[in-house]
Structure 1
Amino acid sequence: MTGFEIALGAVGRESERVGAHGGEYEAALRRLWERGNGVSSWADDGLFGGIVAAYAECAQVSLAALNGVSGEIGHTGEAMAGVVANTRAVEAANAENARRVTWA
């Protein structure tokens, strides 16, 4: 034991869950984008124009940043699945190479 063991079954299951969370996160953000910036409900009479504009800009910048997080969640799930596949391939290659070794 080296301390670097991977529970491949658990990582494989969790990669699917993380990927699903990425999709759910993306759908939630899409609903927020569709709502708009929410300032129309303020019934601005011009008095709060500067505040309304700043709020709308902050909302758009925040959603754009969160959109990047959505992609990272999905990529993390894909990368976890890649770890499982790569580890299994390496273990299979190591087992095959160990069978080929002739001990003197």
Structure 2
Amino acid sequence: MLWLSVPHGRLEQAGMALSGWPETRVCMSTVGAANMLLMAQVHQLSELGRILERLGTAFPEARVRDQRVVLRPLKSWGRMLDPAGRATGVVPVDPWAPSGVAFPPRTR
């Protein structure tokens, strides 16, 4: 997860470009010093460096304000994952579901 600061005049262009990257799961503009959130999924931590390099090349004026790494995701955009990161099941994604709706219990 990368919190980025992108000049306002380049925000739409950056969002359109970053949303097309194969690693991108979520790309959205936000309000504040970090005005863009980029959530990317990689299989190895070393791949994050390549994303940062590509970001710096494509948008040298963008600054990474903060970055977070989720080491053990349980779910990836509707797919339940096992400890090795392989899909074990599917949970339909409903972006219009009321907040607080719990996911079904994880099966093993």
Same fold (TM over 0.5): no
Structure having greater relative contact order (Cα 8 Å, sep ≥ 6): 1
Larger Rg over CA atoms: 1
- Greater fraction of residues in strand: 2
Query: TM-score, structure 2 length as denominator?
Result: 0.23
- Looking at secondary structure, tell me which structure has more helix per residue: 1
Q: TM-score, normalised by structure 1?
A: 0.24
